[in-house]
Amino acid sequence: MEFPFDVDALLPERITVLDQHLRPPARRPGTTTPARVDLQQQIMTIVDELGKASAKAQHLPAPITSASRMQSNRHVIYVLKDTSARPAGKGAIVGFLKVGYKKLFVLDDREAHNEVEPLCILDFYIHESLQRHGHGRELFQYMLQKERVEPHQLAIDRPSQKLLKFLNKHYNLETTVPQVNNFVIFEGFFAHQHRPPAPSLRASRLSRTTAAEPTPTAPARKLPPKRAEGDIKPYSSSDREFLKVAVEPPWPLNRAPRRATPTAHPPPRSSSLGSSPERGPLRPFVPEQELLRSLRLCPPHPTARLLLATDPGGSPAQRRRTSSLPRSEESRY
């Protein structure tokens, strides 16, 4: 890839490492130094153009590598330039490799979740006209030596078929461990971890939870304080006035004299419901002879007429049969 500025002077080394600050590398002695702001702007232009070319080659809807993304993440980009190509003495860019550490949850060969933070291959691009010339292997091998990692310890984010063939050809990475996310890891990724045998995913998850957080003891249950007996109401907070007022019986029972003498010993109070509701004094029992004498001497009450009208046995035919009896037999009842 060619640019309108001098790439060879901007990037003095064949492979230049750029971090999130995108600062220009140290200048070689004897070269002119332009304004530092202009140099940083040129580096940002290179990163943006490389990201667009990589997205186009991978058929992505948007670039995943740009100067703004680099400045907002702690990633590292390795830029490879072509020292032999000197169109107009400005040099050219061959490709780039972006890596970064990410915290991931990956599955091992026993389907157990593992929280790891490996070095991830985030973007890899070599110009189409310079592929199959050894530039990709040179750039990848330089990154492995710089980061001090092995190829099987890497996690690749959405690798293309070209990248998978590249890793299989140069590093014998063929067998992958299935994952539920977009990252791909190869067999041997967990080789450096000494893990106890885990029979199942649920058992390993339970053991990790138990080791991290011990089971807390159940707190003692506190009961509410018992209220005083006088504060407890037998039914509800509303006043039940109809329990305190005695119902007036119909005539002639209401003519019996009332007993005004209170009881000497009130009924015992309940220990759980408090005092019983107050009721009016009961009237004494009226003998049958006195009741019949009152019924014969007094005129019928409207209430009695209503009871006779509603009583099934008080039909006119029944009253006629009763009235035909002699007076002596009628007085028995």
Domains of the chain: 7-186 (3.40.630.30)
Largest CA distance in the chain: 154
Q: Going by DSSP bridges, is the β-strand pair 119-126/155-157 parallel, antiparallel, or unpaired? A: parallel
Binding residues for acetyl-CoA: 124-137, 160-169
The pLDDT value given to residue 35:
56
The pLDDT value given to residue 228:
57
The pLDDT value given to residue 83:
74
Which residue type, as a one-letter code, is found at position 9? A
Give rounded-to-5 percent helix, strand, coil for the chain.
35, 15, 50
Contact 67, 15 (CB under 8 A): no
Q: Give per-10-residue mean pLDDT for the chain (333 aa).
A: 86 92 73 67 94 93 94 94 69 93 90 91 93 93 94 93 93 91 91 48 46 46 54 49 56 58 53 51 64 69 69 54 49 46
Q: Report the distance separating Cα 124 and Cα 146, nearest Å.
A: 16
| Tokens of residue 27, six digits | 């200048």
Binding residues: 124-137, 160-169
The pLDDT value given to residue 24:
84
